[in-house]
Amino acid sequence: MTNDDVLDEFRAAGALREGHFVLSSGLHSPVFLQKNLVFMRPERCERLCKALAQKIIATVGQVDVAVSPAVGGIIPGYETARHLNVPSIYVEREGGGFKFRRGFHLEPGQKVVMVEDIVTTGLSSRECIQAIKDAGGDVVAAACIVDRSGGKADVGVPLIALASLAVPAYPADALPPELAAIPIEDPGSRRLKG
């Protein structure tokens, strides 16, 4: 799949949103990829994740298990794992970091691909990779549907992105006036309170 093929799936799903969004990292952006509108269609999710699985195999070969960060990573992690023919497990936010719960665990030295939905700064990916390493996994690569840093994000392992896109994102104290004038949406789960 080309970059355009991937973005066409987002466009067709109405998932390429414009407005004023505060991102997981705290940065602000005029563009948000609402991936849940893409993943809600199993056939769309399958096309993307099958292509991502093929790219993973072509880049690093077969792995033992796919691990994703909740919430956004769970569906693409599962679907990518289905095409890799490996188990799919996930980590969840608990006490500031990501933790394995629900009986999920890794065997020492298992080859892991960390599967994210979207990468912006790479912060969530790095936190997830740390949790995998703490649990004894060997992270051979990270993978995502869209890297919206345009290749700039450093997650500490090779990042296999199905599509790469350069989207502006600004610190809260450096907003362009036209962005500051729009009401803020905070669509992610990082700042959700139980």
Ligand X SMILES: O=C(O)c1cc(=O)[nH]c(=O)[nH]1
Annotated binding site for 5-phospho-alpha-D-ribose 1-diphosphate: 116-124
Q: Which of 19, 18, 12, 20 lies closest to 37 in space, CA to CA?
A: 12
Residue 71 or 167: the one with the smaller Cβ distance to ligand PRP is 71
Q: How far apart are CA 101 and CA 57, in angstroms?
A: 28
Name the binder of 28 from ligand PRP, ligand X, Mg ion, none, CB < 5-8 A by kind: none
Strand residues in the chain grouped as ranges (E): 16-22, 28-33, 65-69, 88-94, 97-100, 111-119, 138-147, 159-164
Q: Binding site membership: which residues?
A: 116-124, 148
Q: Is 68 in the site for ligand PRP (CB under 6 A)?
A: no
Taking CB under 6 A as the rule, which mask of x and - marks residues 81-110 in contact with ligand PRP? ------------------------------
Q: Which segments of 3-60 are extended strands (E)?
A: 16-22, 28-33
Q: Cβ(108)–Cβ(119) under 8 Å?
A: no
Shortest approach of ligand X to residue 87 CB, angstroms? 24
79 lines the binding site for ligand PRP (CB under 6 A):
no
Residues whose CB falls within 8 Å of the CB of residue 172, separated by 6 or more in sequence, listed in order: 22, 26, 27, 28
Per-residue binder mask for ligand PRP (CB under 6 A), 117-136, x = binder: xxxxxxxxx-----------
Contacting ligand X within 158-187 (CB under 6 A): none
Q: Where are the alpha helices (DSSP H) in 61-139?
A: 74-84, 123-134
Both structure tokens of 122: 């790479």
87 interacts with, out of ligand PRP, Mg ion, ligand X, none, CB within 5 to 8 A per kind: none
Binding site for Mg ion (CB under 5 A): 72
Binding site for ligand X (CB under 6 A): 23-25, 32-33, 35, 72, 118, 120, 148, 188
